[in-house]
Amino acid sequence: MNGDTFSSGEVSEITGLSAHTLRYYEREQLFPRRIERSSSRWRTYTAQDVEWLLGCNRLRASGMPVADIRRYAQLVAAGPGNEPERLALMQAHQRRVDEHIAQLQVSSDAIAAKVSTYADAVSAGTASRLWTGEEPLVCVLAASDTVAMAKLRRSRSAPRNDAPGSAHSPA
């Protein structure tokens, strides 16, 4: 660290981002300000730049697209007066994150049920009967996808048109 600035290597160590990623972020205009260069043309970052990158890490880890981070950086760079647009951008992202968390919770619940099923079966010595492919087959993991399972049930109960000579016949 050189006074109030950090080298690319130091920033990489602090943020966990590679030097390549730092250059990519700069190229993609994900910083709200231009990254300065030293007299020897090395990139120099301020503490504020490092804080910004840590925030970008959080946004990327939560699934925010690079285009949205770029837009956010542009809004911040433009200064005061666009806070409602910044708010809308963050609210939209928060909704996506909350939806993803809800989907992950459903998946976690399904996996927990599967773990319980296997633990009970292994403990009881009946594990060899799990997932044999014989009807009726209900996979706990699939059962939690209620929309897809409803479609599957409808498709199973729909009359099949594969009699000999029909258009859907495998003959």
pLDDT tens digits for 38-67?
999 999 999 999 999 999 999 999 999 999
Amino acid at 160: R
How many angstroms separate the Cα of 87 from the Cα of each of 78, 80, 81, 94, 140? 15, 13, 12, 10, 40
> Looking at residue 51, what is its pLDDT?
97
**Counting every residue, how long is the chain?**
171
CATH dotted code for 5-79: 1.10.1660.10
Token pair belonging to 151: 């479609």
Please report, for the chain, the start and end positions of each structural domain, with discontinuous segments joined by +.
5-79, 102-157
pLDDT in tens, 59-97: 999 999 999 999 999 999 999 999 999 999 999 999 999
- pTM of the predicted model as reported, rounded to 2 decimal places: 0.73
